[in-house]
Amino acid sequence: MTRAVVFDIDGTLVDSVDLHAEAWHEALKHFGHDIPVAAIRSQIGKGGDKLLPEFLPADEVKKLGDKIEKFRSKLFMQDYMPRVRPFPGVRELFEKIKGSGLKIGLASSAEKKQLKKMKKIARIEGLVDCDTSADDVEDSKPDPDVFDAVMKCLKPIPPRETVVVGDTPYDAEGARKAGLTVVGVLCGGFPESDLRAAGCVAIFRDPADLLEHYESSPLSSRAR
């Protein structure tokens, strides 16, 4: 029986993956590292603590990591956030879930200030019972910390009665480590094969597609 649904937000509810990749590219270039946007894009979904070590040596991450992340965060909020748009059907999906009597949580690698803004963009303010961000945990996805944190907020609902919806293999890996069932969406740009390999039990095109097939999806109590 499903009693709660936990969503990632970037690439799952809002169209922001390419924008995050561009902001990281610009930030890294500012500090002397011209990393291809495509390479960065493949790592979006992780927090800065996991992304930067993919491209920089450990000593440079230790020396400049915080400065790069702060530069990128300010850049994203000022130049890229105004371009973020919601995917179709997000609010309607949330209303369907709430109307079914389920709780809704958010588990994001974004900073809290970014998460607050994106909730407004996605038009889901007032429909979320619990949310956790990078500011609430020590280690980002694919570690399970953010999912463990949101499950504490959703207590007494257990992991076995919770479904996670995300767009990256890192969502799936982290959620599975926390004992959660994972549904994937393709709107973030990751291949279906990657999502399946990471443990997604079902795949949908985007929130609108999930809404259309809600009753046969793992979100429905009848399907579980």
Q: Are residues 97 and 193 in the same domain?
A: yes
Q: What is the pLDDT of residue 222?
A: 62
Q: Are residues 128 and 73 in the same domain?
A: no
Task: Say how many domains are in the chain.
Answer: 2
Using one digit for the tens of pLDDT, what is the confidence trace for 132-143? 988 888 888 999
Q: Is the pTM of this model over 0.85?
A: yes
Q: Are residues 21 and 78 in the same domain?
A: yes
In a domain, 222, yes or no: no
Final residue in a domain of this structure, among 49, 83, 117: 83
CATH code, domain with 119: 3.40.50.1000
Q: What is the distance, to the nearest Å, from the Cα of residue 205 to the centroid of all Cα atoms in its chain?
A: 16
In a domain, 150, yes or no: yes
Our CA angle for 188, 7, 194, nearest 5°, is 40
pLDDT exceeding 70 applies to what percent of the chain? 98
Query: What average pLDDT score do residues 82-95 get?
Result: 98
| Nearest residue to 54 via CA among 68, 75, 74 | 68
In a domain, 62, yes or no: yes
- 137: alpha, beta or left? (left if phi > 0; alpha if psi -120 to 50): beta
Domain interval for residue 100? 4-15+85-216
- 79: helix, strand or coil: helix
Q: What is the pLDDT of residue 224?
A: 47
How many Cα atoms within 13 Å fall on the side-chain side of residue 3? 10
Looking at residue 179, the DSSP 8-state letter turns out to be T
Looking at residue 10, the DSSP 8-state letter turns out to be B
Strand partners of residue 132 = 107
Query: What average pLDDT score do residues 160-167 get?
Result: 97
Distance CA 29, CA 72 (A): 11
In a domain, 35, yes or no: yes
In a domain, 223, yes or no: no
Q: Are residues 139 and 45 in the same domain?
A: no
